[in-house]
Chain A
Amino acid sequence: MTTPTLAPAAPPAVQDKAAPVPHLGRLDAVGYLICLSGIVRRELLRFFNQKERFFSALVRPLVWLFIFAAGFRNTLGVSIEPPYQTYVLYEVYVVPGLAVMIQLFNGMQSSLSMVYDREVGSMKVLLTSPYPRWTLLLAKLIAGVTVSVVQAYAFLAIAWYWELDIPPIGYLAALPAFIAAGFMLGSIGLLLSSMVKQLENFASVMNFVIFPMFFASSALYPLWRIRESSETLYAICMANPFTHAVQLVRFALYGQFEPVACAVVVGTTIVVFILAIIAYDPGRGIMARRGGPAGEAS
């Protein structure tokens, strides 16, 4: 065998852990905030660069509102139930659900872009940042939430012309609710992105996640109506975290707080985000299970 001439393996060198690392950036909390703002900025740049994404995100709920809701206006009456003080038109009822639907689609879009990033390799660049991995995933999540809240308010701004009767303070009160809903849906998207191996498989996410979540919820019809037709379906809707995200936003838009919905949304966010962190852990998650680069291994 060829004689080794490389430098012999050095004995473990003693490092002064308190000594600063020679590095142009900062590895402290301020550095992390710079990192976070960079990730959010990139997400916004990508979002505004893809104008068709912005418009399609708006067109989808507007079609529901202007066509679907108008069509059902006379067939689907909505009785008085909190947070509404009186009978409301179907369009009024459906608006919070459509706004959160935008966030649902955005969460899945972020998930899709995570899978894309992984395929094209830019995820590697993110994950080799010196900050803890969970903080990087949190930054990605915050970036997605920022985009989704912008989209939801853009929708509300257009829908405002539709006699929605939302009090002005409601728009402000709904902001934390939209943020909470965005975190929950973004976390679900993050977890899904760790499970989807290839972009091609993403269509199944649409079929098995987005549509069931949206339709088995209080977004389009009040739950008492569902209960009238099926107790089982009602139970499914109540177990669906999307229902609670919609209810949280619905109540907030009328200046009210719904504690159960808030607890479900926050709880789901925490559990799902922890699962996503585990999924992206290099030792335990999908990175470890994936099987490595093509052709490597014997």
Chain B
Amino acid sequence: MSEAPALEVSQVSHRFGSRAALSDVSLSVGRGRFVALLGPNGAGKTTLFSVITRLYANQDGRVAIFGHGLDREPSRALARMGVVFQARTLDTDLTVEQNLLYHASLHGIARRIAKARIATLLDRVGLADRRGDKIRTLSGGQSRRIEIARSLIHEPSLLLLDEPTVGLDLESRADIVAIVRALVREEGLSVLWATHIFEEIEAGDDAVVLHRGRIIARGTAGGIAQDGETLEAAFRRLVADPVKQAA
């Protein structure tokens, strides 16, 4: 019996009416791997995330999380997944702890257990002292760190992050990347990280390039770049002429 990957997306297509948002997309996130999903705005990254998180029905193809098909075992699949959405999704009128307790309850975690877990996670993201503060008093970067803590509260094995650093300053961005990379390194978390910011990607990371709803390149970030070019240059080349690249 083979060990199922953390995330397996097989030939997924998605349409909104006559518009194709995703066409025959396949990708895999191995256990304990950091996979970058690269794509310009409008490439289909958020639609793909919505399909993987079951916000949109999977119209065509298959999505499985640790072997649990999203169609047949959605509860088991969703239980093993943590998500940080592109849009901020914290309740700004509630405190940090109230937000995290709410999320813990959505996963059936008793308050006593949740409170201990929250203490650990806030410590991990460096915001233990903000536990009783309302979200509206936090900076953008701090809110993002809280969202990462929230996504980890039920101890998922797969973390999905949809452009988590958009709109943050350099220091906050670096903090977020460092926290997630440490989770991969130290806890064996599997990560799918959607972005169009190349500084966040390391040469050894697995990378998938999505453009106009299709995957136009995949490999390690270092492998996608050719002849000493930077990943950004490779990305521009691929996005500029994807048909030629596919030929």
Contacts and interface: CB of A to CB of B under 8 A. Distances in A.
A41 B219 contact: no
A13 B10 CA distance: 13
A289 to B, nearest CB: 8
A132 B35 CA distance: 29
B134 to A, nearest CB: 9
Nearest to A19: B76
Given A3-B223, A13-B67, A282-B56, A34 B94 contact: no
Interface residues of B, number: 89
Contacts of A283: 57, 59
B121 to A, nearest CB: 11
Given A1-B245, A2-B217, A297-B47, A128 B75 contact: no
Contact of A15 (B8, B67, B216, B224): B67
Given A9-B10, A129-B107, A293-B47, A287 B56 contact: yes
Contact of A24 (B28, B56, B107, B223): B107
Given A296-B47, A298-B212, A39 B55 contact: no
B229 interface: no
A7 B87 CA distance: 30
Interface string B234-247: 00000000000111
Interface of B: 1-5, 8, 10, 14-17, 19-21, 26-28, 30, 33, 35, 41-47, 50, 53-57, 59, 64, 66-68, 73-76, 78-81, 83, 85, 87-91, 93-94, 98, 101-111, 113, 117, 150, 153-157, 206, 208, 212-213, 216-220, 223-224, 245-247
Interface of A: 1-15, 17, 21-28, 30-32, 34-35, 37-39, 41-42, 45-46, 49-50, 120-122, 124-132, 281-284, 287-288, 290-298
